[in-house]
Amino acid sequence: MKAEPDRKWWKESVVYQIYPRSFKDSNGDGIGDLKGITEKLDYLQDLGVDVIWLSPVYQSPNDDNGYDISDYQSIMEEFGTMEDFDEMLAQAHSKGLKIVMDLVVNHTSDEHPWFVESRKSKDNPYRDYYIWREGKDGREPNNWGSCFSGSAWMYDGQTQMYYLHLFSQKQPDLNWDNETVRNEVFTMMNWWIDKGIDGFRMDVISLISKPAEFVDGKAGVEGYASFSDAANGPHVHEYLQEMRQKVLNRADTLTVGECSGVTLEEAKKYARSDEKELNMVFQFEHMDVDADEGNKWTDKKMDLRDMKEVLTRWQKGLEGVAWNSLFWENHDQPRSVSRYGSDSREYQEVSAKMLATCLHLMQGTPYIYQGQELGMTNVPFGGIEDFRDLESINAYRELTEQGVYTQEEMLKYLRYKSRDNARTPFQWDDSENAGFTEGTPWIMVNPNYKWINAKDQIARKDSVFSYYKELIRLRKSHEIIVYGSYDLLLPEDPDLYVYTRTLGSEKMLVICNFSENTRDFTLPGWCQDSANIVKLIGNYGDAGIDGSMRIRAYEAVALLCKI
Ligand code: GLC
Ligand code: CA
């Protein structure tokens, strides 16, 4: 007898990520805000998602668009007030939508009062809240580079020591080995839980426990070593179990850890099904298949076989022991339709739907990043002045100054991979500024809003938006989509991603063409008896089911077979 699936509401849910700065501006200052989100809750309810993950809305000097927090218990002025937040939360709940907050506690802003105190003197009570070290031979304590270029250590003249910042200089890393720091974080989290929020997405949570010694790593092209040794550090599981006991167990939360550098073995601990730590993790191996030996700045296209190998390893590896999060996009990634599909007029819609099919029918909780449900594309940025993201701007400066790339090359790579591709305003309609703002948007609007926008797609039955609605609806009516086991077919095929899901006496067959080539495909023997086959969804309206099928450019089809 097969065991019954371990049912959980957060496995059956679909999460929608909002990047508040770019979602909807309610007061004409060009910056999205909380009132804007409240205005658009009906849109999300119509789409059918269950949970909203809000990128940070806390007070922040915005060095890294809110991922540098100076007060965890107040709202960024540009986004509104705590009353606006409470109103948004209440309205969301009344519409059956849950709200998950972004928890950014690997680091704070350097303008957070804890850090302002910490840097004052070596005996300040807050000194040990952060990671301070003496220099080594007149240089940084080790050769780690920051994620946003330059050294991961910043010299502070006041006390003549260095502090660690894995991200920007304005994001000093907290010292999680200090119990007082942990308790401060837990108290703050409990304050939000008491407000009624429904969970946390935990920013770079795999990095919180630093190694006991900061030894040099192997230096890369820019002369710095990656800080990958900081991932999955010695006490990270201990600290998360403590968080589980002191905070998370107090409510029925959804928790997802952003785990850079996570391996399958580590993920089984973070996302263990006995719920001692988190519900699920974001892993990033599938975001690296189109990198060039770890270097993100390239326009290399992925080989689908690599993608299938990575995703299948995670699908099979976590089956029954932990839980996957499924994503193609977030605020740190370019648009998937431009990256893995096609953003040409001809194929933008069909390939956006194909990508959605492939992802939503795997095992795990699907995440939709704002605009993905319209098939929003990468952006035709002009020069470097069009970019806003500090990662992009710093990388451009560093790599062109060092002569690693010319300015033209670097701009080409930024247009393909920059995080800003995901951060341009949501395309609500075809009026000026895509209906995002009545003022001047903080970052350019993608000019293709004239033909890619929500207003048009809501009205159209064959739109990408309507297709997402249908995928979400299917998830609610077919247990196999949530709980079925996964198996890959045709691992060596360069164009087709074909997999099955199996639950009880049902089997689902998912066929996705990642290329423009038309391909013949013969249905497997167990799926030949037409009396027992139902077509669940497909992105070419007319496609019939036949023992031998013709799979057209970017075609996707899912069949349900009784076995
Ligand atoms: C995470 C966030 C990213 C941010 C970084 C530092 O990776 O998703 O946007 O820049 O952490 O907080
Ligand atoms: Ca605004």
Nearby residues for ligand 2 (ion, Cβ within 5 Å): 25, 27, 29, 31, 33
Residue with CA nearest ligand 1 atom 9: 332
Residue 56 has pLDDT above 60, yes or no: yes
Residue with CA nearest ligand 1 atom 7: 204
DSSP state letters, 349-410 = HHHHHHHHHHHHTSSSEEEEETTGGGT-------SGGG---HHHHHHHHHHHHTTSS-HHHH
As a whole number, the mean pLDDT across the chain is 96
Residue with CA nearest ligand 1 atom 12: 67
H-helix or E-strand containing 464? Answer: helix 464-477
> Any idea which residue has 């993920």 for tokens?
267
Longest Cα separation, the chain: 78
Cβ atoms 402, 222 nearer than 8 A = yes
Residue with CA nearest ligand 1 atom 4: 67
- pLDDT score recorded for residue 2: 56
Q: How far is the CA of 283 from the centre of ligand 2 (A)?
A: 33
- pLDDT score recorded for residue 293: 87
User: What is the rounded average pLDDT of the residues 408-425?
Assistant: 98
Q: How far is the CA of 389 from the centre of ligand 1 (A)?
A: 11
Give the tens place of pLDDT for each residue, 180-209. 999 999 999 999 999 999 999 999 999 999
Most ligand 1 atoms within 8 A of CB, residue of 101, 103, 167 to mutate: 167
**Helix/strand/coil (H, E, C) string of 177-224?**
CCHHHHHHHHHHHHHHHHHCCCEEEECCHHHCCCCCCCCCCCECCCCC
Known catalytic residues? Answer: 203, 258
Percent of the chain residues past pLDDT 90, beyond the cut = 93
Q: How far is the CA of 32 from the centre of ligand 2 (A)?
A: 5
Q: Which ligand is nearest to the CA of 439?
A: 2
Give the tens place of pLDDT for each residue, 417-467. 999 999 999 999 999 999 999 999 999 999 999 999 999 999 999 999 999
User: What is the rounded average pLDDT of the residues 347-356?
Assistant: 98
Cβ atoms 20, 67 nearer than 8 A = no
Helix, coil or strand: residue 100: strand
Residue 1 has pLDDT above 80, yes or no: no
Which atom belonging to ligand 1 lies closest to the Cα atom of 166? 6
CA nearest to 514, candidates 341, 356, 360: 341
Residues 6 or more apart in contact with residue 170 via CB below 8 angstroms = 61, 63, 64, 68, 109, 110, 111
Residue 306 has pLDDT above 90, yes or no: yes
* Reported confidence tier of residue 3, pLDDT bands at 50, 70, 90: low
Q: Which ligand is nearest to the CA of 425?
A: 2
Q: How many Å apart are CA 428 and CA 449, to the nearest integer?
A: 8
* Reported confidence tier of residue 283, pLDDT bands at 50, 70, 90: very high
Q: Among 60-74, 121-135, 186-200, 224-238, which is the least confidently predicted range?
A: 224-238
Ligand 1 pocket list (CB less than 6 A): 64, 67, 104, 167, 203-204, 258, 331-332
Q: How far is the CA of 143 from the centre of ligand 1 (A)?
A: 21
Give the tens place of pLDDT for each residue, 73-129. 999 999 999 999 999 999 999 999 999 999 999 999 999 999 999 999 999 999 999
Most ligand 1 atoms within 8 A of CB, residue of 18, 64, 282, 284 to mutate: 64
Q: How far is the CA of 28 from the centre of ligand 2 (A)?
A: 6
Q: How far is the CA of 203 from the centre of ligand 1 (A)?
A: 6
Q: Which ligand is nearest to the CA of 436?
A: 2
Residue with CA nearest ligand 1 atom 5: 67
- pLDDT score recorded for residue 451: 98
Q: How many Å apart are CA 421 and CA 387, to the nearest integer?
A: 9
Q: How many Å apart are CA 501 and CA 194, to the nearest integer?
A: 39
- pLDDT score recorded for residue 543: 64
Q: How many Å apart are CA 168 and CA 394, to the nearest integer?
A: 10
Q: How many Å apart are CA 62 and CA 214, to the nearest integer?
A: 29
Q: How many Å apart are CA 445 and CA 448, to the nearest integer?
A: 8
pTM of the model: 0.98
Q: Beta-strand (E) ranges in 210-347?
A: 254-258, 280-282, 325-326
- pLDDT score recorded for residue 5: 83
